[in-house]
Amino acid sequence: MDSPEEPGACLLHFADEASSAGRLAAATGLRPLAIERHRFPDGEIKLRLPVDAAGRLPRRAVLLRSLHQPNEKLIELLLAAETARALGVQSLALVAPYLAYMRQDIAFQPGEAVSQRIVGPFLGRLFDAVVTVDPHLHRIARLDEAIPGRACAVVSGAPLLADWIAAQREAPLLLGPDAESAQWVAQAAARHVFEYAVCSKTRHGDRQVAVTLPDVFLRGRSVVLLDDVASTGHTLIEATRLLRAAGAASVDVAVTHALLADADLAALHAAGVGAFWSTDCVPHPSNCVYMAQTLGRALGELSW
């Protein structure tokens, strides 16, 4: 089995993810090389890959690209991967700490595009391996069902978020805001023997959700809401309002993927959230938990 740490193997990355790339390079021994990106006035983009003096790239490379704000990045991946292959890369892995377009996994209405079944195979045509963190898979159990025929590794942010929470709060109650979060909350709670429970949620629209709290004692409790994604933040806002009304002493939030905008974060705090913590899967001011070691281990264990 080849190892990504073989001499000369490189870590391709973009300037806006230089910090994460530095951490992943340190964790893996991969040589970080930045891709230059130019945006033309008409919106097209041009990439320039970091070739050596002979105009070539190493035969083995990893591309780091987290796919929040994904639409333009999917074009970047297409241009970068095809160019890397043309410049000598034979084995190419994608590390996408946040993997977009995994939520639309069935046609909820006739005629809808099933994005997961289109974007997954698209990535599979470009990359030999994909590593990601807590992808939003509902109706499939494994990532390689979405990216058929490719080496896939999924790691979770929950254990390291649990460690962070344990260092910040004494005997917190971990609460998942919806049924899907049960997997992460249970995992995090088991690691530090925290009490945990899960809410139920009904979504009525992008920013309209109804949350029902579980039947647990909340008055005076230090509650930490734990979820994979905060997107608009409305799931967490609704849960926080109810928790505060039920007498929780504090409500803090820990998520793997902080996709939310500044205004949404402000709305969360206005609803009663104290601290908001996230992993660095998506660059965000709330990042405090770093995934490089976990990602590096997963990459090293994959055969590609």
Question: Nearer to ligand R5P by C-beta: 74 or 267?
Answer: 267
Smallest gap from residue 72 Cβ to ligand R5P (A): 21
Question: Nearer to ligand R5P by C-beta: 56 or 203?
Answer: 203
- Residue tagged 């970091």 (tokens): 50
Question: Nearer to ligand R5P by C-beta: 2 or 112?
Answer: 112
Phi/psi of residue 257, each to 5°? -115, 110
Phi/psi of residue 32, each to 5°? -75, 130
Half-sphere exposure of 10 (CA within 13 A, CB side): 18
Smallest gap from residue 135 Cβ to ligand R5P (A): 11
Phi/psi of residue 5, each to 5°? -85, 10
Smallest gap from residue 267 Cβ to ligand R5P (A): 11
Smallest gap from residue 245 Cβ to ligand R5P (A): 19
Smallest gap from residue 237 Cβ to ligand R5P (A): 8
Question: Nearer to ligand R5P by C-beta: 71 or 303?
Answer: 71
Q: Are strands 250-258 and 208-212 parallel, antiparallel or unpaired?
A: unpaired
Smallest gap from residue 114 Cβ to ligand R5P (A): 17
CA 176 to chain centre: 17
Question: Nearer to ligand R5P by C-beta: 28 or 116?
Answer: 116
**Own/partner pairs, 181-186, CB within 8 angstroms, 24+ separation:** 181/226, 181/227, 181/228, 184/134, 184/156, 184/157, 184/158, 184/226, 184/227, 184/228, 184/256, 185/158, 185/226
Question: Nearer to ligand R5P by C-beta: 177 or 296?
Answer: 177
Q: Which residues bind ligand R5P (CB under 6 A)?
A: 177-178, 180-181, 209, 227-235
Whole-angstrom distance, CA of residue 263 vs CA of residue 275: 16
